[in-house]
Each structure stands twice: as C-alpha cells, then as structure tokens.
Amino acid sequence: MANGRLLRQLIKSGAEGDQDAFRRASEAVISEEREKQHHLLANDLEKILYGRSKMPASLSIVKAAHAVPIDRERDLNLIEVLQPTRDLGDIVLSDKTRSALDEVLMEHNRADVLRAHGLEPAQKLLFFGPPGCGKTLAAEILATELSLPLALIRLDSVVSSFLGETAANLRKVFDFVSETPVIALFDEFDALAKSRDDVADHGELKRVVNAVLQMMDSYRGRSVLVAATNHETLLDPAIWRRFDEVIQFERPSLEQIKQLLAMKLAGVRRQFDPSESHIANMFKGMAHADVERVLRRAVKEMVLQGREFLDLPHLEEALSREYTPKRNRKATRGT
C-alpha cells in the first residue's frame, strides 16, 4: 500500500476539494504501486482516475515518450510511443486465436496469482500469419486491455548501415523496454531474425540475429514483447523457442466475415443484411484489412453520391476498385 505521507496528502486534498493536489497525490500513489510491480492495482487506479480514453496519457505515455532511445548516427527515435485506443470489441478472430489472446490477458490480469506459485505471465509473444489479418491490431488491443502504452519499434531507425550499429540500437531498445512497461511491437520481425542459413545474407545480418537471440534469452524486463511477421518461414529456426506463446492469425472464415461486416457497418443505413451468406461470399478469401478498405470506399461512394442507404452496387464498385485489380496483378505476375 501507499505510504502514510501520500495517503495523508490524498485524503487532505480530497477533503478540501483541491482537484490539482488530489490528482498529483493520486498519480504519486499509482506510480508507487507500479514501482512495487503491483501493475493490476495501478491499472485499476488509473482507470478510476482518468477513465479508459485518457488513462495512460498523464503517467505512462508522456513519461515513455520522453525517454525513448535515439540512433546515435542519425539522431532518429528508435521507438514510437502511442496511446492505444482499440479494444477487444474491435477485432474479429477465429476461436483458437481469440482464446490464445484471452489467455495472455488473463495471465497478466492475474499475474500476482501466478507469481505466488513461482510462475510468470507470458512476456514474449510471436504473432504470425498473412498481412492484414489482425496482428498489429491485436498488439494494440493488448496495450489497451493491460493499460500500457503501445511502443512501435521503428526498424527504419534500428537497422543501420554502420557496422555494429544495428546491434547497438537493439541494445538500447531492449534496455528501454526492460525499464519502461509497454507493449513493445517488433513489426516485420523477420527483418531482424532472418534465418542464418540464407547464403545471400552477409555476416553483419547474421550477427544481428545472434544479438536478437542473446537479448531475448536475457530479457527479464517489465514489458510484453510482441514480434509480428508475415513471413514466418524466413525466421531463423532458433528464434521460435525464445517465445512464451506463438499465435497464428488467419484470413477470416465466412462466419468471421459476417461478424466483421456487421461490426464495420454498424450505424450505416443499408439495403442489405450483412449476415446473408451471399454478401459474405463477395469478400471470401480477403484479409480483414482488405474487407475494411472495401467497406470504407463503399461508404465514401454512398456519401459522395448523396445516397441515404448503402446498396449492393456500392459494394460491387468498391470491390472492383480495391480488390479485383490486385488479384489480376498477382495473376499476371504468376504467368
């Protein structure tokens, strides 16, 4: 619990109606509880103090953003700290993937119970699957649900042409996430952990992979590390066992497409039912992000035409412009 001095400040400011002093004392209590590794209690107190939409901004986001490491040669931020906004209601996943995500959340929400038995919640996660199927969104949702900032590892800054500088930048990144509780997303992770058996790669890239393996082995930090890749077959075989959980993301089934259509078209007046199979079949084989992009274009067309209702021709036109040409281009490349 918070020390006596903080409790006296908290109660005194509350009794006197001094909102600024009350907020400062409350933030001090939250900070102290987080330092004691009481993250669940600190998260709950932040929710009470700020509300979900503003909760991380005062303590976590601002503090983390000011402390991000910088590439020495180019003076670029190695990490971008963001406030997550989307939650579990914003994603559609298969039962297997959703169950795995829920299990990670439960482990962290009951971390005290696990630690009482000498166990730790999963801290190193690997998300893999086709592009546009929810990997990045899932990382943001973890951040929202665990009341932590989302920290995007900027590979364009981390990867350097200078000998040894990439590994040095990675060390800075791991030092930061060890000290600052965040959801750290290593997107396009295959760029850092590509198979060392690839004869086309030079020695520097192999040294980077070795550095990644060593840093993950020694990581005992306060953040959740999320590595995401669209090309899992490119990963070095040794990297897989470094993760506590490996979660596969897949293209949506027809039932999941129906759920996605209903979610994204909620509040849009339309002349069709998104739960009908022939509507879902129009999007068969598409990734989640592709479905969203088509719907966004269709709604824009409806608005620009001054129409009151979204209709099938809007979907068909959006599909022909957003998706069919891509399939045609792929077919052309394959011939």
Q: Give the C-alpha separation, 135 to 97, whole Å.
A: 10
More confident residue, 37 or 178: 178
Q: Which residues contact 145 (CB under 8 A, 6 or more apart)?
A: 87, 88, 105
Q: How confident is the prediction for the chain on average, in pLDDT? A: 86
What phi and psi, each to the nearest 5 degrees, are found at residue 44? -65, -40
Which CATH number does 67-248 carry?
Answer: 3.40.50.300
pLDDT at 334: 42
Domain ranges, ordered by start, for the chain: 4-54, 67-248, 254-334
pLDDT at 257: 97
pLDDT at 201: 60
Residue 165 scores a pLDDT above 50:
yes
172, with CB counted inside 10 A (0-12, 13-18, 19+), is middle
Identify the DSSP state of 155. H
> Tokens 């000998």 belong to which residue?
163
pLDDT at 199: 58
Residue 224 scores a pLDDT above 70:
yes
Cross-strand partners of 80: 152
pLDDT confidence tier of residue 64, bands split at 50, 70 and 90: confident
pLDDT at 37: 60
Which CATH number does 254-334 carry?
Answer: 1.10.8.60
Triad 152, 153, 156: Cα angle to 5°: 120
Q: In the numeric block, which tokens belong to residue 186?
A: 């290593």
Q: Same fold for the domain at 67-248 and the one at 254-334?
A: no
Note the pTM of the prediction, 2 decimals: 0.77
pLDDT confidence tier of residue 233, bands split at 50, 70 and 90: very high
Residue 243 scores a pLDDT above 80:
yes
Q: Give the C-alpha separation, 273 to 261, whole Å.
A: 9
pLDDT at 195: 87
pLDDT at 133: 97
> For the chain, what is the radius of gyration of the CA atoms?
23
Q: Give the C-alpha separation, 236 to 240, whole Å.
A: 8
Cross-strand partners of 56: none
